[in-house]
Structure 1
Amino acid sequence: MQIKKLVNYGPEDYRLESGTLPEPGVNELLVKVGACGICASDYHCYHGAPMFWGNDTFPRYVKTPVVAGHEFYGVVHAAGAGALEHFAVSVGDRVIAEQIVPCDKCRFCRNGQYWMCEKHDIYGFQAEDADGGMTEYMLFKPTSRVHKIPDTLSQEECALIEPFSCSVHAVNRGDIQFNDVVVLAGAGTLGLGMVQAIKLKTPKKLIVIDTMPFRLELAKKLGADVVLNPLMEDVIAKVKAMTDGYGCDVYIEATGNPAAVNQGLQMIRKLGRFVEFSVFSRETTVDWSIIGDRKELDIRGAHLSPGTYETVIDLFRRKLITADGIVTHRFSLDEWQQAFSTFGSAEAIKILLIPDQQAG
């Protein structure tokens, strides 16, 4: 049986190819892909961002040729020896694997911090070890963290489990309290997941910043108390005015724009908590004296989504978060070039590649 797969050979060298159906090995699942989202990291990787392809600062991370895509879900189609027992699933179950394929051998994996695995294979970026989900069928590897998906979840909800799990982890890193004024910079897919997660934490006020009016409108519908556009107003002055001149208690950066980092350092109060989530396409420079000498800030990174997949699945199941309005475009695998060119356009939020969908 021949299947379609989108293979990354290098920057701006992705090719839709035909290949043989993968054969699951011991403790491997063969999964029929239901949908795979395009992430900012996929977009930056395609366009040659140094953090993926390496430069004088970063070693090369991507190993090619590799099937792209890490925001996937699917249905168990077949299983290698022992796999059904290993993952406690059955053929026909809807499933999702976390984006990382941990080695289960390094110090971080041994300490239960698998999302910081030193080998750090991510589906869609590591040839042989972690072919991704922009294909019709893919393999879930023996060390994958696999979760079952209830039949009640929609296609859109299933496709947003991965990004929203990252959103929940980032929000958890902010340690949001009842009296906090929270500023979230960025209302893309992950930001809109954060809006909903932050609202469930019930802070005093949630302020969302973005440059696209339609995203701000959706953020307001999903729970933002105030929305601000930095192209239209002085957002630092606005936040200071709403906080008696002190600044926000928590600032979460989810834009991928270096300007949002400096913006956050200016508008956060002394002793505030700054959560950095984004994948940047270039290096960011800041005045570190703000972090230390002037404000004594807590700077917290947020990477991947440890322990949050089950949370997001449950929140969707209980209708405490929604996918409404977030998936804006759907394309077949044959239309992958149009899908990538649509990413980042004024009207796009989450774009899905759907293997079963016909072109046009």
Structure 2
Amino acid sequence: MKNVPKTMKALVAYGKGDYRFEANYPAPECGPEDIIIKTEGCGVCAGDLKCQHGASMFWGDDNQPAWVEPPFIPGHEFLGHIVEVGGNVKDFHIGERIIADQIVPCGECKFCKTGRYWMCQPHAIFGFQKGNNGGMAEYVRFPKTAVISRVPEEMPLEAALLIEPYGCSKHAVDRAQIRNDDAVVISGAGTLGLGMITYARMQNPKKLIVLDMVDARLEKAKEFGADIVWNPSKVNVADEIMKLTEGYGCDIYIEATGHPSSVVQGLSMIRKLGRFVEFSVFGEPTTVDWSIIGDRKELDILGSHLSPYCYPFVIENIQNGNLKTNGLVSKTFKIEEWERAFEYASGKHGDLKVAITFE
């Protein structure tokens, strides 16, 4: 039984800066292995903004090929209810509330076959390629290899919209391998940084220190579990860390700002044999003296990408209140208002997370 109309409202990306609201865009068709959801809401990510602005990491330049495949529908922080399932789909049923990992693994490459699906070599991701349209539309198709999790009906949408970013936050903190005698610094208290803070609090570090240039975000960081908050524009944070740690430096530094100065700052304040986790996507190159990593401190430098195997834990702990979500989703917009949504998602008005919602 077909429950999806032929057309739908959608935001469609045709090229750099060429994003258009379409009132009658073709709705996805359900193949025998597919699931179609009716979208409840879709968060607006910094990556969506960078892509819309034409960043070369998406659209390519002299040093890298284009990664996006227009026309596509943006959005990867979305969830909804199943309205149609293919004939071969047995595990999911119409009416269930579901969400999928951002990546759509191929299931065939060596990463997928060894359980490391988040590093899938083809690397198809919802919201950037026409074959895997995202959640800024009334309906979305989940193909056979999508990594799907169920979402409790009673979870408020404002909390459920944080499942995808909090999954990424959890993976970054897991990479840090926090122990209860560690002094941990998280640099950046945006949505993803706050997700890291509330999850890192569950690891019970000796000290959880948070850095951000915006005092309102530092207040939120304290609410979410930080022991100490500092604004680097007002405090010499490297000196303060040294005072706090008898001159050794922090044990772990998680970089979640995407600004080159945060990397340099972290390398200066981390102790010898410390662990540095890089989470952010950068808009410009970062230059450091690499000898600090090897000859001077012998650091462990770790990256963090996406949210493998994180959704079930995140969903359970958002639901039971262990992961704080209060106040992060501050505004919602209709799809027709996408330009305002993108404007507010930039943070210029003080918002942390905004979303597009559908009735």
- The TM-score by the shorter chain falls in which range? over 0.9
Please identify, of 17-26 and 267-276, the stretch whose mean Cα deviation from structure 2 is larger. Answer: 17-26
Please identify, of 171-180 and 11-20, the stretch whose mean Cα deviation from structure 2 is larger. Answer: 11-20
1:76 to 2:59 alignment = no
Which letter maps to 1:354? T
Match of 2:281 in 1: 279
1:221 to 2:223 alignment = yes
Helix, strand or coil at the partner of 1:58: coil
Structure 2 counterparts to residues 16-27 of structure 1, below 5 A? 16-17=21-22, 18-27=24-33
Match of 2:353 in 1: 350
Which letter maps to 1:82? N
- Aligned-pair CA distance for 1:257: 1.0
User: Which of 8, 18, 27 is the aligned partner of 1:13?
Assistant: 18
Which letter maps to 2:275? R
Which letter maps to 1:321? L
- Aligned-pair CA distance for 1:267: 0.7
User: Which of 214, 236, 239 is the aligned partner of 1:234?
Assistant: 236
- Aligned-pair CA distance for 1:340: 0.7
Q: Distance in 2 between matches of 1:59 and 1:295?
A: 36
Contact 1:50–1:282 at 8 Å: present in 2 too? Answer: no
User: Which of 116, 128, 133 is the aligned partner of 2:119?
Assistant: 116
Q: Distance in 2 between matches of 1:351 and 1:197?
A: 21
Please identify, of 100-109 and 230-239, the stretch whose mean Cα deviation from structure 2 is larger. Answer: 230-239
User: Which of 113, 136, 149 is the aligned partner of 1:147?
Assistant: 149
Give the 4+ runs in structure 1 shifted more than 3 A: none
- Aligned-pair CA distance for 1:59: 2.2
Q: Distance in 1 between matches of 2:50 and 2:151?
A: 29
1:182 to 2:200 alignment = no
Q: How many residues align?
A: 352
- Aligned-pair CA distance for 1:151: 1.6
Which letter maps to 2:172? A
User: Which of 195, 202, 209 is the aligned partner of 1:193?
Assistant: 195
User: Which of 121, 125, 128 is the aligned partner of 2:128?
Assistant: 125
Q: Distance in 2 between matches of 1:267 and 1:194?
A: 19
Q: Distance in 1 between matches of 2:356 and 2:259?
A: 25
Match of 2:43 in 1: 37
- Aligned-pair CA distance for 1:22: 1.7
- Aligned-pair CA distance for 1:355: 2.1
User: Which of 310, 324, 327 is the aligned partner of 1:325?
Assistant: 327
- Aligned-pair CA distance for 1:235: 1.1
After superposition, the C-alpha distances for 1:7-29 in whole angstroms (9 at most, x for unaligned) are 11122111111213222102111
Match of 1:295 in 2: 297
After superposition, the C-alpha distances for 1:156-201 in whole angstroms (9 at most, x for unaligned) are 1110000000000000000000000000001111100000010000
Please identify, of 18-27 and 221-230, the stretch whose mean Cα deviation from structure 2 is larger. Answer: 18-27
User: Which of 89, 93, 96 is the aligned partner of 2:96?
Assistant: 93
Q: Distance in 1 between matches of 2:286 and 2:60?
A: 16
Gaps of 5+ in 2: none
After superposition, the C-alpha distances for 1:128-176 in whole angstroms (9 at most, x for unaligned) are 2x11000011101110000111122110111000000000000000000
Helix, strand or coil at the partner of 1:163: helix
Q: Distance in 2 between matches of 1:59 and 1:315?
A: 39
User: Which of 336, 339, 345 is the aligned partner of 2:338?
Assistant: 336
After superposition, the C-alpha distances for 1:328-358 in whole angstroms (9 at most, x for unaligned) are 11111011001111122141100100122xx
Please identify, of 228-237 and 137-146, the stretch whose mean Cα deviation from structure 2 is larger. Answer: 228-237
Which letter maps to 2:351? A
1:56 to 2:58 alignment = no
Which letter maps to 1:97? A
User: Which of 262, 265, 274 is the aligned partner of 1:263?
Assistant: 265
Contact 1:103–1:143 at 8 Å: present in 2 too? Answer: yes
Helix, strand or coil at the partner of 1:66: coil
Provide TM-score, normalisation by structure 1: 0.96
How well do the aligned residues superpose, as a CA RMSD in angstroms? 1.0
After superposition, the C-alpha distances for 1:271-315 in whole angstroms (9 at most, x for unaligned) are 000000001122222211111111110000000000100010111
Q: Distance in 2 between matches of 1:174 and 1:3?
A: 43
Q: Distance in 1 between matches of 2:231 and 2:264?
A: 16
Q: Distance in 2 between matches of 1:32 and 1:260?
A: 40
Q: Indicate the percent of aligned positions where both proteins have the same amino acid.
A: 49
Which letter maps to 2:317? L
Please identify, of 54-63 and 251-260, the stretch whose mean Cα deviation from structure 2 is larger. Answer: 54-63
Contact 1:89–1:148 at 8 Å: present in 2 too? Answer: no
Helix, strand or coil at the partner of 1:125: coil
Helix, strand or coil at the partner of 2:295: helix
